[in-house]
Amino acid sequence: MKINSIKIIPLKVIIVAILLSVSLTACYKTPIQQGNILKQEDINEVKPGMSKKQVAIILGTPAIADPFNQDRWDYINTSKVKGKFKKLKKLTLYFEDNELVRTEGNYFPEDEKD
């Protein structure tokens, strides 16, 4: 006879706990990072006069390749939190005759506090 005396209260508690956990996890949005993740030390190693192969060994190849301009490499990194862009980091490398001639960008700006 004890088999028929299953309590309903534990089932209600389990259902409430599941609903509460699902509703709370819906509030948290995972930060999303896309693109190239570079280190300052690696960027500091890149110097004018290096070949594309040398740069690729240090930084890797860019996530986005421009098929119309093989002499420009753009390293881009974006961070989104709660669906909104938080940061946009860019580093552009310019090559001539397979040799790095200059760099531009704000991948690690001097005044960045993070």
For the domain spanning 29-105, the CATH number is 3.30.1450
Domain spans of the chain, in order of start: 29-105
Question: Average per-residue pLDDT in the chain?
Answer: 82
Return the higher-pLDDT residue of 96 and 20: 96
Sheet bearing 99-105, strands edge to edge: 32-35, 72-81, 84-96, 99-105
Secondary structure class of 76 (helix, strand, coil):
strand
Whole-structure pTM over 0.75, yes or no?
A: no
